[in-house]
Chains A and B, each alone.
Chain A
Amino acid sequence: MSGNEVFSMQCHKAREFFSPYLDGELSSNEIEQFKQHLDTCPACMSELNEWKKISHAIQGLKSTVKAPPGLAMAINKQIEAEKKKSKFSGAKRWMATAAAVFALITGSVSYVANGFWNNLPFSVAIVEHQNGQSQQQTGIGEPQDTQVPVNNNSVNNNDNTGIENQQPGSKITPGKNPVTNNTQPPATPNDTAKPTPNNNGGTVITNGQPAQVAANTEEYTAMAFLSNEHQKTNTMMKVAVNDLDTAGSKVENLVNNNGLSFSNIASQENKKIYQIVIPKDKADVLIADLANIGQVTAKNTNIQDLNEQFASTLEQYQAKIAQANVTTDAKEKEELIQEAKALENQLKVWEKESKQQIIVLWLETE
């Protein structure tokens, strides 16, 4: 096209058809119109020929270009690397891992609690030993003589008024939490699998209030749970340290100095994970001390409010006891007591957890 050419509007319109014409994208009507214009406009015809030549020239660049050898392998290697890249950022990864570790730890507690719940009160029992410590014992298939009657507070005992916590043989004191009967001698195989009636009419405290229900000659007493706040508090913290062994020793000293015990959950070349259970009121001080061991890179405290579920479960528990005490059907009574015992153990777990804080400490070399 020379610079001297002046296009009419018709030529401008025709120019819009150049590309679609070359590419076969015009309708038959458009082709006809276009050709009519070309027949009368040598400038457009000449220009179209130039476009054709260039188009062919570009198409002449077409060549069979093959990917170089090794490219596919390089690509697949990169894709492998992509796969290995975590989907999580570093922080998220830590939180996810910590949460998983924590779930493993705390899950065991819940598992036990759930075990109680699942109609296993007789096979999963709290066995009270003479030293006053309770031991959770999974006991499906356990010999019956290792078990004690369902409600330890209502065990048939000459001194049966509820037993003061950790004080074998002591009398229950209103306002305190009666727990299991430590003075109860091991039950005989003949009387262990069913509740023993409380013939003594002992006073029982429930939430600080007497809650004794009489049913025939057998009486079952509800355990008292006195804590007002039920919260599960877990702290996960990750501390970067220079020397893992030195830091580990410091942790162990700190824990021992507080009269606590710890569990070493994981110990690897570059990391150590501890679980420390500590009374809630002492936790902050210990956490601050642990933070001084190295550089805290992540910390998360999770407080789970258990109040609502505790209250609801307590209500159910008390209702079961009340029903058990009024029923005259021995089988139904036994079932109700079993259910009550399951609820009681769940409440105990929550009560215990509410007074403690679990710290999961993750030491890692920088």
Chain B
Amino acid sequence: MNLGLNIFKRNKANEVTSFENLVLKYQDRVYGLSYQLTGNHADAQDLTQEVFIKAYKGLSKFRHEADIGTWLHRITVNLYLNEKRKVIRHPVVSLDNPINTGDGEITREVAATDGDPQDIIEAIELKDFIKTALRELPEEYQSVLVLRELQGYSYDEIAKILDCSLGTVKSRLNRARQAMRDKVSKMNKDTRSK
């Protein structure tokens, strides 16, 4: 990403101004991933701040092998994983409790209309269910899924971000999707049994 590199080069030459520019330019990208990983705005803000501070301190380590956005995402994921950010400050959507959609409470009976995950999503806008399932995955699975499904990174890029081999990315994504599938399946099963 040439634009990113230009900003970075300017950053080296004119540290203060350009780092402010860098923050302005990349804050949404970093915040977006932070929010996808943490699942709530409070943690996303904290994580985003930490990412930029760490980036500032580690500017000298940046070797242009990736564009700045990817580099910042790498820091984001690493910080998230290393610090075991699993604090879910937003109310966890629980299958055992009614779900407040803003238009009144929807209970599991609504979701129980069909065992098919897609139908559940359609029935009660089950983004929250998916989000919940995603949140409940181990951080490594969650991260790789977010990077792939939400950020659209290729396997190669994910390998670089996570600093692992391509084979690891493949197997981890497969296991992550399997885990996700199992969780959704369990949700359906639990819903049906009510």
Binding site for B on A (CB under 8 A): 1, 15-16, 18-20, 22-23, 25, 47, 50-51, 53-62, 64-68, 71-72, 74-76, 78-79, 82
Contacts and interface: CB of A to CB of B under 8 A. Distances in A.
Contacts of B56: 79, 82
A22 B57 CA distance: 38
Interface string B136-162: 000000000100111000110000000
A18 B41 contact: no
B174 A72 contact: no
Decide if the interface of chain A is mainly helix, strand, loop or mixed. helix
B182 to A, nearest CB: 9
Contacts of A75: 23, 27, 48-49, 52-53
B174 to A, nearest CB: 4
Nearest to A52: B118
B116 A55 contact: no
Contact of A79 (B19, B149, B150, B171): B19
Given A54-B117, A58-B134, A71 B150 contact: no
Contacts of B130: 54, 57-58, 60-61
Given A25-B155, A65-B31, A82-B56, A53 B118 contact: yes
Contact of B174 (A15, A54, A57): A15
Interface size class of B (residues with CB under 8 A): 35 or more
B49 A61 contact: no
Contacts of A72: 20, 23-24, 27
B153 to A, nearest CB: 10
Given A53-B117, A79-B53, A79-B56, A20 B31 contact: no
Contact of A71 (B49, B174, B180): B49
A109 B173 CA distance: 70
Interface string B164-194: 0000001101100110110011000000000
